Structure 1
Amino acid sequence: MKIIRAFVLAGMSVLAAAGAQMVITATPIHQGGKVPEGLRTGDVTVTQGSTNVPVVQLQRLAGSMADMQLFLYLDDSTRSSSLGIQLPELKTFLKSLPRTTQVAVGYMHNGTFALAQAFTTDHQKAADALRLPAAIPGENGSPYFALSDLVKRWPSQEATGRRAVLALTDGVDRYYSAQIEDDPYVDAAIGDALKNGVAIYSIYLRGAGLYGRGGWATTMAQSRLIQVSQETGGYAYFQDLSDPVTIAPFLSDFQDRLDNQYLLTFQPLNGRGTQQVKLRTEVPGVKVEGPSRVYVR
């Protein structure tokens, strides 16, 4: 199966006492390669513009720092026939998650989020809350409305090291389905996610919207899912323009990356607001992926 992914794991958009923080991921450059057990502070360089900014600390998100909240988000307008096969894969994935991961389940519905299961470490309970989408065309006018609604009204006030969304949708915005200009609803979803420290991952499922069968609309929708991932720090998973036969490889890759994440603290070049950042490492055989921008409070 060919996997096309949009990288750039975004992080926490907060200003700590020692500087700004973001979540980054270490991955092998070559397939089948190994990632070192622990990167050190000096292994990662953060650049803003043409200036290298000081990296204050690099902490692996494992052990006592492994806690996270994961929201599984299904588009309720999805008509994909393959989801009947993929739903058991999702349930197996949820039940395999470590106890340090709280899981919630919800559905995109009329541009808002409908909560099916609140955050819980009872992963069996979360898996039991999964159902097939209603499959009503137009049931979700724009997945980006629904993403904005979720991250702005995140259903937990508990402090956690990471917040992430895994959305299953075709990414079609029925209001901007085939227009090439910037989609303001995509931009709004990105901004809201950055401000609330939520990384958005997605798995493309064809046919979730009114325009899900058109080639051009599909290409535009996938491009927008990539954009959201790059800006907020998730991955966008695709199998060309069609439904994946299985999403198990995507879920496995997703878990591998969550297992190799770090909290990076750096001194930002500027004050508050959204700031562009670039990452690199000189560690042989390893690349680091992080946000293309962060929101500093």
Structure 2
Amino acid sequence: MGFNRRSLMVFAATACVTVLLPFAPAQIEGPQRSHVVVRVQGDHPITTNDLHLNVEGKTLPVTSVRPLVEDHVPVELVVALDDGLRNFGNNLDSIKRFVASLPPNVSIAVGYMRNGRVMLNGGFHSSRDAAEHEIRLPMGSAGAAGSPYFCISDISKHWPSNKRAVRFVLMVTNGIDPYNGRPTPMNQDSPYVDTATTDAQRGGVTVYSIFWSSRAGGGFGYGGFSGESYLSDLSESTGGELLSAGTMNPPSIDSYLDRFNKALQRSYFVTFDAPTRGKNLSSLKVTTNARGVKLHAPREFHAGN
């Protein structure tokens, strides 16, 4: 009798599994609507017919191409200043003028990189006055940011908005990774830079950077070259740009801020359908047949972003 009862229980459990399994939630399969920002270097405006997308070695059609500024595509920009910056006070007015000059479709948050995070006093502002109010002199403490690459990873994974908008970070830092050992000619690779790049690409964040050296942080010599190299790799891999050149601080960063504004004017919101790869990133190559035009885009992206 006991054997029959156990057999009946096993049969019932098996029947339940058989009935319930088909109703388990299925994983999303097939192409997912995806977006990337493509920057044009040149005066030729681009259309869907000008672009060629290669994703994971396969050519994909372009659905739409929209100029960010002309089409008023929503943009969110985090201006991230290293809280360890020194001798930076003369540039505060430059940043305020820059904030005031941004197109109306850009919402702005001002934050300070400290202890591996981007500390924001508030969220994104469409009001230029509100954003300017959050600009202050950095603390100037050596190493205050921790690692700027920890900061990029953090802001990319915890973006301070749920709005569907194009995401940019403009950061000012010496770019040195204090957790990767002493900068030397033989130590120019950092896993934390790679991680920050991956996190930004997965979060759909385009990173622009301005190098600002600091003697206390080793901003000259190998340290300066290392920091600038890291910033260049991170920026270019996400479709952005290292806006500065050389390891000596200029009298003003006005020209760098102006370059960012022009880059924004020449950036396009490109839409296409790409096969999903779960949490994995997909390789991307964007080309054009238009003469005199060079394109900049992230090297990898997350399908469905």
**Alignment correspondent of 1:202:** 209
2:168 matches 1:164: yes
User: 2:66 aligns to what?
Assistant: 59
1:89 is aligned to 94
Question: Which shows bigger deviation, 230-239 or 56-65?
Answer: 56-65
Q: Cα distance 1:69–1:208, how it changes in 2: closer, same or farther (>3 A)?
A: farther
Q: Which has the larger radius of gyration?
A: 2
Identity %, equivalent residues: 32
Any stretches of 5+ residues in structure 2 without a counterpart?
1-28
Query: 1:258 aligned to 2:264?
Result: yes
Superposed, 1:145-294 pairs within 5 Å as 145-160=150-165, 162-176=166-180, 177-178=182-183, 180=187, 182-207=189-214, 210-213=217-220, 215-268=221-274, 271-272=277-278, 273-294=280-301
Name the CA shift for 1:64/1:295 in 2 (closer, same or farther; >3 Å): same
Relative to structure 1, the CA distance from residue 84 to residue 35 in structure 2 (aligned partners, 3 Å threshold; closer, same or farther) is farther
TM-score, normalising length from structure 1? 0.84
Task: Work out the CA distance in 2 between the residues paired with 1:131 and 1:65.
Answer: 29
Deviations 1:127-164 (A, max 9, x none): 1211111001122221111121222221122222x111
Residue of structure 2 aligned with 1:25, choices 24, 39, 42:
39
Partners of 1:67 and 1:16 lie apart in 2 by 27
Structure 2 counterpart of 1:99: 104
What is the number of equivalent residue pairs in this alignment? 272
2:217 match: secondary structure: coil
Structure 2 counterpart of 1:8: none
Which one scores higher on RCO, CA 8 angstroms, separation ≥ 6?
Answer: 1
Cα contact 2:176–2:223 (8 A) shared by 1:
yes
Contact in 2 for aligned 1:77/1:208 (Cα 8 Å): no
Q: Secondary structure of the residue that 2:287 maps to in structure 1?
A: strand
SS in 2 for 1:52: strand
- Structure 1 residue 182 displacement after superposition: 3.1
| TM-score (norm: length of structure 2) | 0.82
* Residues 61-70 or 117-126, more deviating: 61-70
**Which residue type is aligned with residue 92 of structure 1?**
R
Question: Unpaired segments of 5 or more residues in structure 1?
Answer: 1-14, 29-33
Contact 1:26–1:289 (8 Å) recurs in 2: yes
Distance 1:72 1:16, change over 3 A: farther
CA deviations on 1:33-76 (whole Å, 9 max, x unpaired) are x333xx22110112246543322322222455421111110000
Deviation at 1:269, TM superposition (A): 6.3
Indicate the structure with greater strand content.
1
* Letter of the structure 1 residue corresponding to residue 172 of structure 2: L
Report the Cα distance in structure 1 between the residues aligned to 2:227 and 2:188, rounded to whole angstroms: 12
Relative to total residues, which structure has the larger helix share, 1 or 2?
2
Q: Is the 8 A contact 1:151 1:196 kept in 2?
A: yes
Q: Could you tell me how far apart the structure 1 residues matched to 2:118 and 2:263 are?
A: 26
